[in-house]
Amino acid sequence: MTTANASNTSARLTAVVTGASSGIGRATARRLVDEGWHVLAVARREDRLEELAAETGCEVLAVDITSDDSVDRLVSRAQELFGPGLNAVVHVAGGALGVETAAEADLEKWQRMYDINVLGTVRVTRALLPALRASGRGDLLFVTSVAAHEPYPGGSGYNAAKAGEHMLARALRLELNGERIRVIEIAPGMVHTEEFSLVRLGDQGAADAVYDGVEQPLTAEDCADVISYALNAPHHVNLDLVTVRPLAQAAAHHVARHQGI
């Protein structure tokens, strides 16, 4: 995709990227740094963040988005690095746990998914919104999922959590209308990353089976490409919702397998 490179602007653009220890968050932080953004990458695992910092030169901070105190430290660090303004918050932190039906729901898993995908996202948004307003060129970008829009058997908990995040984005777009803040949602389909399915299913064999027969699922870099395009587009252009899937996937639960795509 062709984008306006941030390094060509008169001032260096700034971003906080959550969930940056792996997968889409890590690829997004790397991509934005390559394009000249000043990035603060955050996640819970400090060792993974230090590796990212060494690779890219980005700033890093260990943050638990389910903790008020931890997010307060994020706000303080962002102010130290960027001053009173901030150009973008990229919400990638999230995840799925389990594939139980609603009738067999594990409520601890549901609670954890809601705490991370919804309440954690709200917590970070609320905390950093003043800085986005102060910048005069702010973006709130939410990486949700096709699961936010398409229910599927065994997905009810993740469907519900991601639908909550989707509705947060839609409500914010209405609430912030008239301000210089874009609200963008990127909803990926099947993405093959090192951890998503493994964390969800708890077994490497089961995780590998998710992608069985699909030769080209999306990669984290594919998603970072779309995120980069949305953030670097002229600021009067708002990509409200982008659904991105591999060619083999027609719906969350409808995938062509063993067909060479």
Q: Could you give the residue numbers annotated as active site?
A: 158
Pull the structure tokens for residue 182.
Answer: 């874009």
- Give the alpha-carbon dihedral of 197, 18, 45, 48, to 10 degrees: 90
Annotate 62-108 with DSSP letters as a single string: E--TT-HHHHHHHHHHHHHHHTT---EEEE----------GGG--HH
Dihedral pair phi/psi, residue 230, rounded to 5°? -65, -40
Q: How far apart are CA 169 and CA 229, in angstroms?
A: 18
- 16: β partners: 40, 89
The sign of the CA dihedral 125, 126, 131, 137 is positive
Q: How far is CA 211 from CA 74, 150, 200, 257, 258, in A?
A: 36, 19, 14, 9, 10
